[in-house]
Structures are given as structure tokens and as C-alpha cells.
Amino acid sequence: MPAPEPTPPPGLRRLTDSLAARLFALTLGAILFTEFLIFIPSVSGVRTQWLNERVSAARIASLALEAAPMREVSDELAESLLMKAEVLAVAEIEDDMRFQLLAPKTVIEGPTRPVDLRSSTMAGRSAAALTEYFAPKDQILILTADGAEAGRVLEIVLPQAPLKATLVSFAWRIAGLSLIIALVAAVLIYAVLDALVVRPMKRVTISVEQFSRDPGSWSRRLSPTARRDEIGRAQNALSGMEEAVADAFRQRAHLADLGSAVAKINHDLRNSLASAQLVSDVLSKSEDPRVMRAAPRLERALERAIELATATLDYGKAAPRPPRLQPVSLRTVLIEAADEALNGDGVRVDADIPPDLILQTDPDHLHRIASNLLRNAADAMTQAGTPAACVRISIEGGALIFRDNGPGLPEKAQANLFRAFAGSSRTNGTGLGLVIAHELAGALGGELTLQETSDAGTAFRLALPGLPA
């Protein structure tokens, strides 16, 4: 079993994972890479200059031989010229004839490599300069260059070791200087980027991390900045988001407290209203004319209050319970919902639904959706005094259509149809009935929408899975 790799200490891990350390390393690496790209032509220039100096010395030696009688010099002078030129031998080629100007004083041994300065390119010189670092120590260069006069060619034999030593020394000087320049430049660039990028990003990161741990109570909030670049816009956007989220959490806490209080009030209110309804039932049996006139109004007021309390409690639930799907008779559920919702209001319901149609759905959810739609339609038609008020239920295009012949919905109700406490068109209505019906339709995998509304009536479309097209 292989041994686990050693884990770096926490301090080193934080350093390597930080944006500042990576930015400094990246800046230093980029500068050193740029210096390396500059080093290649520089070392090529040093190599070319070193070779040209040897060619110039050889040309001077050839001119000295031209001045000597019979182009011959003493051995001492020849050795002196070779030493000053730092070469091993010099020959001249003219008209395909080779003349030995300065003969070598010792036997030349070692591998040889030709170098032609007459037809070299920048790329070739750069590549040759790099290869000099890897040449054998005893390598001999055969250098070819133009002679002192036109038509003449110099052939110079010289050791490669001095050239290699010169290039190695140059490389060390350049490396040291480049490292110093890179460090200074990296520190300056890092200081600027740290102030402009790293520190603002640290503030943003700390705020976001604290927000992710506890969105409701984090304290390291950002203040807006006057910067107009990408970081400034991001910081301002995050600052605005933090304020909005903080306000939302405060509002949620207030609403939670308010909802708890309303639930308690509703519970006690429903109990009180139930007692009042019992008294109302007793009063309705009185034969006193004044009581008989007031009792119906009292009963309707109590019914509206109980309906408001029930709807508010239903809407206060976090979500409707998951549907319990089972085969149900669609017509039976709709008729039962109509009997409960209308309760003798003088509104007729025509359910054009096949008696044998069985739907896989939750009967309680469907009952509540239908009773809300029918109750809303009946109340609207009753308030408007619609003659021969009727609600027709049919199946069209895979959906149930609830169509009445009432006065239609006002524009305000249409704009806020499925918003709690805002979409009701009834007097003393809460607007919760359609909201609850819309949520229950979604829980059943369907959708409740307003199909049409006008002076001729209103139609709601309830799409449910399994309805025939």
C-alpha cells in the first residue's frame, strides 16, 4: 500500500492558496520568462562580437604578412600574431587557391565544427549561441569570414573553450541582473496590484464567506466604493445585495413573529365566532320582528369572519400538504364542492362531466380548488345581481373550464389575480381563495389560469394530468 503524501503545514497551505502569493509568483515568473526571451538575442550578439573580434585580429595579421617580403615572417612574429589574435591558425583562400598565412605551432586535435559568418541569419545565430553551452571542451572551430580585400576568404582555426567560457560568464551576469530586476519589478507590480486588486478581493471574499456561513447575521459588510472598474462595480453590487438580504431577513423575522401572533389570534377568534354563531342560531328562531330582520345580516357577517379566519390560516401554512393520489369520480367531487360552496345561493351549476370519468388525483385538493372557484363566481354574480346566474363546468383541451355568466373581473383584480390580499373583487374579500387554489393546482401537477373575462362572464382553466383532450 503506497504511503500517503505528506500534507503541507497549514501556514504553507494558506500561503500557496492565497491570491497574493500566486500573483507574486506569476509576476516573477512572467518577468523572468521575458528576460529569457531577451537573453537569447543578447547572447547571440555576444557570440557574434567575440567571433568578429577574432576575425578582425586575423585580418590585421594578414595585412602584416602583406607588408613582409615574400609574405613570410619569422617564427617569433608568427607566434606573436597568433597569440594576439587568440587563434590557432590562419589561412587565406583566393581564386580557389589556399595560402597558409599563420601555421599552427602545435598539432590540432579534437572534434571540429565549421562556422560561416558570411551567410548567417538571426535565428541561426541565436540557435548556434545556445549550442555553444553544450559543446565539448576540446572542440575546434573552423571559422570562415570575408578577408581584408574583396575576393579573399579567411579561414581561421580557433578553440571553442574561450568562447564557451565567455558565454557562461555572460549568462551568469545576465541571470543575476535579471533576478534583481525581476524581484524589484515583481515587488512594485505586486504592491500596486495588491492595493488595487488583492485587498479589495479579500474584503469581498471575507464578506461572502461569512454570508455563506450565516446569511442572517454576518457582520463584515462592505461599504460602497467610488471605484468604477469591475471590482468597484462588484463591491457595490455585493454591498447592495447585503443590505437587501439583511432587510429581507429582518422582514422575515418580523413576518414570522406577526404570523405566529395572527395564528394565535385567529385560533381564539374562530372560537369566539363559533360561540357567536351558536347565539346567532338561537336568535334566528326568535319571533321578534326586529330580531328576524337583523339575524340574517348577523349570520352573514359571522360566516364572512369565519371564512376570513380559515383562509388566513390556510394561506399561512408553508406549503400545501403533498397530494394523496387515488382514483376518484371527477363529477362526484365537483358536485360535492358545488353543494358546499353555493349552499342555496340561487346559482345554478351545470357539470358537463361524464359520470364514469375516473381521475387519478387528490380528492381533497380538487374539492378545495373547485369550491374556491365556484364560491368566487357565485359571490360576484350575487353582488352584481346577475339574472339566471350559472356556472358551467366542462372539459376542453385537457383541462376543466369553470365559466360563469357574471359581470367579469375588474382590471385591478386581473392584475393581482394570484396575489394574496390583493386580487379579490368581492366586498370584504381577502383574495386568498384563488391564491390557495393556484398553489393546490401546482401541487397536483397542473395549473390554474384565467382563460378569459368580459361583461359576458369569466372562465378559469384548470389543467390537470389525466384529463382527456
pLDDT of residue 215: 63
**Same-domain pairing of 157 and 69:** yes
Task: Identify whether 75 is part of a domain.
Answer: yes
pLDDT for residue 265 is more than 80: no
Distances (CA, A) of 2 to 5, 8, 9, 388: 9, 18, 21, 88
- The tally of domains found in the chain comes to 3
Task: Identify whether 203 is part of a domain.
Answer: no
**Amino acid, res. 451:** Q
186-199: per-residue pLDDT in tens? Answer: 788 778 777 777 77
**Same-domain pairing of 21 and 98:** yes
**Same-domain pairing of 273 and 401:** no
353-369: per-residue pLDDT in tens? Answer: 999 999 999 998 899 89
pTM over 0.75? The answer is no
**Same-domain pairing of 55 and 133:** yes
**Same-domain pairing of 385 and 436:** yes
Of 64, 61, 60, 55, nearest in space to 163 by CA: 55
pLDDT of residue 273: 64
Q: Which residue segment(s) compose the domain that 276 sits in? A: 221-318
CATH of the domain at 362: 3.30.565.10
Task: Identify whether 85 is part of a domain.
Answer: yes
**Same-domain pairing of 403 and 418:** yes
Cell of 429: 374579500
Task: Identify whether 193 is part of a domain.
Answer: no
Q: Where does a domain end: 318, 340, 374?
A: 318
pLDDT for residue 156 is more than 50: yes
Task: Identify whether 194 is part of a domain.
Answer: no
Q: Where does a domain end: 169, 184, 199?
A: 184
pLDDT for residue 233 is more than 80: no
**Same-domain pairing of 127 and 226:** no
Q: Where does a domain end: 283, 318, 353?
A: 318
Task: Identify whether 339 is part of a domain.
Answer: yes
Task: Identify whether 116 is part of a domain.
Answer: yes
**Same-domain pairing of 177 and 163:** yes
**Same-domain pairing of 276 and 326:** no
pLDDT for residue 1 is more than 50: no
**Same-domain pairing of 28 and 122:** yes
434-460: per-residue pLDDT in tens? Answer: 888 888 898 898 999 999 999 889 999
**Same-domain pairing of 290 and 326:** no
Of 163, 121, 142, 130, nearest in space to 36 by CA: 130
pLDDT for residue 325 is more than 80: yes
**Same-domain pairing of 383 and 314:** no
Task: Identify whether 457 is part of a domain.
Answer: yes
pLDDT for residue 461 is more than 90: yes
Let me know: does 310 contact 270? Beta carbons within 8 Å: yes
At 68, give phi and psi (nearest 5°): -80, 150
